[in-house]
Chain A
Amino acid sequence: MLKDEISKALAPLKLERVEPGDYDKTGYHLEVDAAPEQMPEVAQALKSTGCFLDSLTALDFPEAFHVVYHFSSFRELCRTAVKAKVPKGKAAVTICRVYPGANWYEREVYDLFGLKFTGHPDLRRILLPFDADFHPLRKVFETEKADA
């Protein structure tokens, strides 16, 4: 089972949480919580088991950004969701040296949320114009606008 293989590959990293997910409810086979600075190692471990990066996004909560990585595999059905909590004002760590495809996803998260990724080779805006001065998916965006 790929699920066990992944759990085994992640075991040496001593992550916060590696648990089987409730597939019928959430669509995940494995749920993982990791510290943001561990992400390159987590990505490397997942890549060694043959997983690809399916999607990368962020959630804006008042106290922190949750960066959500979805992994999947061509070989066998196993969806893994990895979450990294990045406190406000801090930066996440890039995984685009492991997965070049993460380059654009991280640019998108930076563009929409203003969350920076340390070590990213080319952290420019991607969807919005380069001279935009806001990050539209931040939850405080609306209130800022109402104040103005």
Chain B
Amino acid sequence: MLERGLEEKTYVLNLGPQHPSTHGVLRVELEMEGEFITKADPDIGYGHRGHEHMAENRNYQQFLPNLGRVDYLHALAYNQCYCMAVEKLLGLKVPERAEFIRVITGEMNRISSHLLWLGAYLLDLGAFTPILYCFDDREHILDLLDRVTGSRLTYCYYRFGGVPQDIDEEFVAGTREFIKRLRTRFRDYDNLVTKNVIFIHRTRDVGIITQEQCLEYGLTGPMVRGSGIPYDIRRSEPYSAYPLFDFEIPIGSKGDILDRYLVRVKEMEQSLRIIEQALNKLPEGPIMAEKVPKRIKPAEGEVYAAVEAARGEFGCYVVSQGEVKPYRIKLRVPSFANLSILPELSVDTLVADLVAILGSIDVVVPEIDR
């Protein structure tokens, strides 16, 4: 390596696996010419736990807790996707109240995920204050979700056919309070971050992703919306109770980091709108489908279900051979495709910009590694 490096006037720099800006154990091997990157090769798989293999060794219910550990920041979307896939296989209909509860808790979880991204990302860029604000707000969501789901991070709250525990008055009142609080906080974020000149200079026109690249790499989520494609599965392939609510899909224009940042911040406001509408319209009724078989043994067949997670499209491909255990479950995780564009984006950039680009992709490494 050293000899080749001397010859070609390039050298190799190792970023990670223990680097604060890689948010988990991700290693990127960089080939540098002076200060500029000529080639980046992400090395993933440090946290490979074999979730897909585990799925083949246990029955459908036993695999549920694994989903909260694939992407631990937006765990409820992953719960929901897997439940939707199995419900489709079994032909179960989820009661309306349960769908509303799924939407409310899922959107709360999306906000908590975006808040953590916001704080941690600005920390990457050298701004220390926002993370303190973000964690303060996020703490309220965790407390509220803790009340109904029983956990603060790796949720396993949804079941096939509904949810196991109803939300109570205290949760509804607490959530309304939180919505009011977060809306006043957005102004602080705007003043602290969005109007910050240093932040703008570090993010504008950096890491531009074209619409063509979105298509070639199969990017989803804020990555494509930042580039101006209004693709959101909650709208394009409506699931759960989402068709009943009125919300906008924020999009960017240029596809640079600043656009992706703005998309995520605006998305939080839209999530608040969805939660508010869901709380206002919350119907009474059962929270569990009537005839959920105790022993889940779907007929032979396959199904693909997808949801809009905080990072993009999460898809669950379940193949059943009529056994109590699934034949194969493929987890289509958004960060895997989103990260695969990094080698192309990082050519001819500085290491400091690479950190900014990597953060703007919002990867959760355990989700990529599965």
Q: Which residues of A contact B (CB under 8 A)?
A: 24-28, 47, 50, 52-55, 57, 59-60, 68, 70, 72, 74, 76-77, 79, 81, 99-101, 103-105, 108, 112, 125-129, 136-137
Task: Assess A103 versus B340: contact at CB under 8 Å? Given A52-B215, A57-B317.
Answer: yes
* Least Cβ–Cβ distance between A51 and chain B, in angstroms: 8
Number of interface residues, chain B, beta carbon within 8 A: 40
Q: Which residues of B contact A59 (CB under 8 A)?
A: 319, 327-328
Q: Which residues of B contact A (CB under 8 A)?
A: 44-45, 48, 50, 52-53, 56, 88, 214-219, 224, 229, 231, 236-237, 301-306, 313, 315, 317, 319, 327-328, 330, 332, 336-337, 340-341, 344, 369-370
Q: Which residues of A contact B229 (CB under 8 A)?
A: 74
Q: List 26 A-B contacts (CB under 8 A).
A: A25-B88, A27-B305, A50-B215, A52-B217, A52-B218, A54-B218, A54-B306, A54-B315, A55-B332, A57-B317, A59-B328, A74-B214, A74-B215, A74-B231, A99-B216, A101-B218, A101-B219, A101-B340, A104-B336, A104-B340, A105-B336, A108-B336, A125-B45, A127-B370, A137-B53, A137-B56
Q: Are B48 and A101 in contact (CB under 8 A)?
A: no
Q: Which residues of A contact B332 (CB under 8 A)?
A: 54-55, 70
Secondary structure call for the B interface: mixed
Chain A-chain B contacts (Cβ-Cβ < 8 Å), number: 96
* Least Cβ–Cβ distance between B46 and chain A, in angstroms: 9
Secondary structure call for the A interface: mixed
Q: Are B218 and A81 in contact (CB under 8 A)?
A: no
Q: Which residues of B contact A24 (CB under 8 A)?
A: 88
Q: Which residues of B contact A28 (CB under 8 A)?
A: 304
Q: A55-B332, A68-B317 are in contact. List 4 more A-B contacts (CB 8 A).
A: A27-B303, A53-B218, A74-B215, A127-B369
Q: Which residues of B contact A112 (CB under 8 A)?
A: 52
* Least Cβ–Cβ distance between B325 and chain A, in angstroms: 12
Task: Assess A77 versus B215: contact at CB under 8 Å? Given A59-B327, A136-B50.
Answer: no
**From A21, which residue of chain B is reached at the shortest CB distance?**
B304
**From B319, which residue of chain A is reached at the shortest CB distance?**
A59
Q: Complex formed: what's the CA distance from A55 to B330 in Å?
A: 9
> A26: which of B52, B302, B344 is its contact (CB, 8 Å)?
B302
* Least Cβ–Cβ distance between A132 and chain B, in angstroms: 10
**From B329, which residue of chain A is reached at the shortest CB distance?**
A57
Q: Are A101 and B337 in contact (CB under 8 A)?
A: yes
Q: Complex formed: what's the CA distance from A126 to B288 in Å?
A: 41
Q: Complex formed: what's the CA distance from A116 to B96 in Å?
A: 46
Q: Which residues of A contact B337 (CB under 8 A)?
A: 101, 104
Q: Are A70 and B215 in contact (CB under 8 A)?
A: no
Q: Are B216 and A100 in contact (CB under 8 A)?
A: yes
**From A139, which residue of chain B is reached at the shortest CB distance?**
B56
* Least Cβ–Cβ distance between A5 and chain B, in angstroms: 15
Q: Are A128 and B217 in contact (CB under 8 A)?
A: no
- Residue of A72, A81, A108 with highest tally of chain B CB at under 10 A: A72
Task: Assess A27 versus B44: contact at CB under 8 Å? Given A55-B332, A57-B317, A101-B217.
Answer: no
Q: Complex formed: what's the CA distance from A59 to B327 in Å?
A: 9
Q: Which 9 A-B pairs have the closest CB atoms?
A: A101-B217, A127-B45, A55-B332, A27-B304, A57-B330, A101-B218, A104-B340, A74-B231, A127-B48
Task: Assess A129 versus B45: contact at CB under 8 Å? Given A47-B215, A74-B215, A99-B216.
Answer: yes
**From B50, which residue of chain A is reached at the shortest CB distance?**
A136
* Least Cβ–Cβ distance between B122 and chain A, in angstroms: 29
Q: Complex formed: what's the CA distance from A18 to B53 in Å?
A: 31
Q: Complex formed: what's the CA distance from A57 to B333 in Å?
A: 12
> A77: which of B224, B237, B330 is its contact (CB, 8 Å)?
B237
Q: Complex formed: what's the CA distance from A24 to B317 in Å?
A: 14
Q: Complex formed: what's the CA distance from A70 to B314 in Å?
A: 13
* Least Cβ–Cβ distance between A120 and chain B, in angstroms: 14
Task: Assess A128 versus B48: contact at CB under 8 Å? Given A59-B327, A136-B53, A137-B53.
Answer: yes
Q: Which residues of A contact B88 (CB under 8 A)?
A: 24-27
Q: Which residues of B contact A54 (CB under 8 A)?
A: 218, 306, 313, 315, 332
Q: Complex formed: what's the CA distance from A52 to B334 in Å?
A: 13
> A137: which of B52, B237, B301, B304 is its contact (CB, 8 Å)?
B52
Q: Complex formed: what's the CA distance from A103 to B45 in Å?
A: 16
**From A59, which residue of chain B is reached at the shortest CB distance?**
B328
Q: Which residues of A contact B301 (CB under 8 A)?
A: 25-26
Q: Complex formed: what's the CA distance from A25 to B306 in Å?
A: 14
